[in-house]
Amino acid sequence: MRVLVAEDQAELADDIADGLRDQGIGADVAYDGSAAIEKALLNSYDVVILDRDLPRVHGDAVCTLLAGSPSSARILMLTAAGAVSDRVEGLNLGADDYLGKPFAFEELVARVRALARRSPAAAPVIVRGDLVVDRARRRVSRAGRPISLTRKELGILEELLVADGAVVSTEDLLERVWDENADPFTRTVTVTIARLRRKLGEPDLIETLIGSGYRLT
């Protein structure tokens, strides 16, 4: 999962992004509305966490633009204005969810995960043969055997499952499971997939296509 945090309070934005990364969620940051639009239209995000009072381009305008764009990202609007009329106005602009400030970080994460599961390609439970991935509960099993995965391992497995047999490149995995700060020359994807293979067991479910990427068999 990859999230864009659009928030003009730099410390808060960085704290949210760091907290999401600790949860295994790739997170990029934009500190104003103009940067938010540029990043949201350039990259593929599952969720955009959008502060309503952004400088340069107001959050309302960003929300309206993204809601009418080809982007499939869900929009979670943040604001210090918590009146019912404010929430209704935000939702009418195209936001998918609304969270008032201050908020509990655990609730923010739960709402982000819930929004990501609303994607048409993001079924809450995915079954492939004897492999079962419950995305809502973050549980994985194979042939009835529970498998404990790290957040990054689970993130890679989810991306391969959603691709439904299509090849997913290393660059795509870095972009979707990590974020824009990931080193494109790192071996972290290779190492993480090797660990994931061992945990999933035999027969091997992940096929490597040299020079292209990976796919589930």
- Look at residue 128 in the predicted model and tell me its pLDDT: 86
Side chain identity at 156, as an amino acid letter? I
Beta pairing class for 145-147 and 139-142: antiparallel
The least confident of 54-68, 74-88, 89-103, 155-169 is 74-88
* pLDDT of 217 over the 90 cut: no
Per-residue pLDDT, 200: 94
Q: For position 104, what pLDDT does the model report?
A: 94
Count of residues making up the chain: 217
Q: How far apart are CA 48 and CA 112, in angstroms?
A: 9
Q: How many CB atoms lie within 10 A of CB 104?
A: 9
- Site of tokens 């500190």: 31
Is the pTM higher than 0.75? The answer reads no
What is the location of CATH 3.40.50.2300 in the chain?
Answer: 2-117
| pLDDT per position as a tens digit, 23-34 | 888 899 999 999
What was the pLDDT predicted at 119?
Answer: 61
Burial group, residue 92, by CB count within 10 angstroms (0-12, 13-18, 19+):
exposed
d(CA 127, CA 119) in angstroms, rounded, equals 17
Q: Is the pLDDT of residue 44 over 60?
A: yes
User: pLDDT value at position 8?
Assistant: 95
pLDDT in tens, 134-144: 877 788 999 99
pLDDT at position 123 is: 62
Average pLDDT, the chain: 87
The model's pLDDT over 33-43, given as tens digits with 9 standing for 90+, comes to 999 999 998 88
Per-residue model confidence (pLDDT) at position 184: 65
Kindly report, as residue ranges, where domains of CATH 1.10.10.10 are found in the chain: 125-216
Give the pLDDT score at 142: 93
Q: Is the pLDDT of residue 87 over 90?
A: no
Token reading at 4: 């864009």
Query: 55 phi and psi, to 5 degrees?
Result: -80, 170
Query: What Rg, from alpha-carbon coordinates, does the chain have?
Result: 18
Which class is 125-216 in CATH?
mainly alpha
Q: Which fold has domain 2-117?
A: Rossmann fold (3.40.50)
**Is pLDDT of 90 > 90?**
no
pLDDT at 121 over 60: no
